[in-house]
Structure 1
Amino acid sequence: MPEATESIPRPYILHMFTATPQMSPFDVNMAADAGYQIVVPYCNVDEASVVQLTQDAIFSRGPKGVSRTGIFIGGRDVMLAADMLDRARQAMVPPFEVSVFADPSGSYTTAAALVALVERHLKKEHSVDFGGKRVLILGGTGAVGRVAAAMAASLGADVAIASHSSASRATQVSDEINRRFDVATSGVATTTPEQLQKELARAEVVFATAVAGVQVMSAADLAHAKNLLIAADVNAVPPEGIAGVNVMDDGKPLAGAARQDAVGIGALAIGNVKYQVEHRLFVRMRTGGKPVYLGFPEAFDEARAIAAGLG
């Protein structure tokens, strides 16, 4: 396989796989801004197709060309994306090996930013960490909620994944997360106001990870959260997911909370860290000099580093 001459350097190419009918424009933009010159989406990709697509990408450019080639895995299913990342890694034939980054629906980087900022404020405001803390995830059956649950549980938190639809749905998702990521979480129902308020009374940390534009915790609900230390909301679309948490809040005292030292973290504070995490991981793929495989543990490491630099 001939290598490009110095006068015609090989371009940076990113192949983007998604199981959905279209790739996220957000991720396409992020890849281009990180320096990829050619960005090619592949839609409706199933797990079985990953090996062939990966090997088509690695064998056509030569050992030097693969260093300027990357694979991104998107979609909406966090479990499938993790499995596709594993399949891509297994398909490599060194020295024909490229970097791979998975971030379905932005869930890995968003959850990383969410958990890292909460961890920062637990230490800053309360001098504690996640160990033993009761974490309630409202809207926890979605993509961001699932990944945040796995991250928080891995840090020793007592994680409850809440479903507004049913206890069985919450338990099903909890079981899937526990098996796939070797953590311990539980599922709870918040179908009625009484169920929600009962769970809030036990919670020390609340994550709101429901779909945009849905309030999952009202001011009346907040009054029941007598042990609450931190409430963090990823919803940037009105109304606020947690009453009293503004999108710009980053450790602001939470009005209406039972504890005077309770603070809120809003969607734009989380989004700022998420953006930096995704950008840095794309740049790491392109400039690292050797293949890397980036999933939510690597996203969390990056988010922690960014959060530590916030002072």
Structure 2
Amino acid sequence: MSEKVILVVGYDGAELLDIACVTSSLDIANRIGANPPYRTVLATPGGHSITCDSGLRLHAQAALERFNAPLDTLLVSGGLGHAEAASGQLLVAHVRRLSTLARRVASVCTGATVLAEAGLLENRRATTHWMYAEQLARSYPAVRVDPDPIYIRDGDLATSGGVTSALDLTLSFIEEDHGMALARGVALGTVAYLQRPGAQAQLSMFLTRCSSDDLVVRRTSNHIVSHLGDDLSTATLARIAGVSERHLSRLFLTYVHETPAQYVRRARTEAAAYLLTSTALPVAAVARRSGFGTTESLRQAFLAHYSVPPSRYRLEHQPSDTR
């Protein structure tokens, strides 16, 4: 093929970022030397314009049912309209048809629902936006749903988590197609982190804040992730929150399903995992920055949380060009 055709499947209620993260990254790849270049095509039912979640309208470049050109990658976008899209028999049938013409098949976010409805995820490991993972697993029991990773590559099939994980997945495609140097150039062009490991959790406490409905839990969890090196004993946290230790523990178990101590340990472990994969700091320095008193404490936490020691975790998750 003189070019790599990437067919992006859109529909009413698709998430604009799910589409743009892919198309913009591939456009940057072309501008800095992708050879063969990418040609992205937005295909929709009937070739009609679609209204995205945000209310913006996108003009299609092809009708899904009439597309028969040579195809490198079939990618289904996600969005709030994913369930309705998956209920459309013609859309699903043509996704299934086009999957047989593509070298690889992928979905972004809740686009996994369409792939599952088309039978393309049966007995395959897949992910989706963490908020919809339980629903996907319940609706399609033959799919091995893992809600944690940013993206999962299972042979010629790839699925990604929520929204901007589309960028991470696309960078992995660019690296596969053209090498790490070009992927790094695209990451620089998008001011993106190259590269978050696909196995990194979508819902990391180090990168997000607790969204609990309980104000005490939310404030305490935000204090924890912002002060990992401080004294975070339950007694200290209870004093900061202005409640008893017993009441704080009861609130955390109710809203987070962990004790305060367990939450602190997990937050520190995820922070250490981020530092191990994004910096060259020695393990001892990582332990100090993430709030562990000793490297042995860090090691025990990693064995419990990731089943590997910190040094092994770093080796397995560092960018491929540095291995």
TM-score range, shorter chain: 0.3 to 0.5
Q: Report 1 or 2 for greater relative contact order, CA contacts < 8 Å, sequence distance ≥ 6.
A: 1
More strand by share: 1
More helix by share: 2
Question: TM-score, normalization: structure 1?
Answer: 0.35
Question: TM-score, normalization: structure 2?
Answer: 0.34
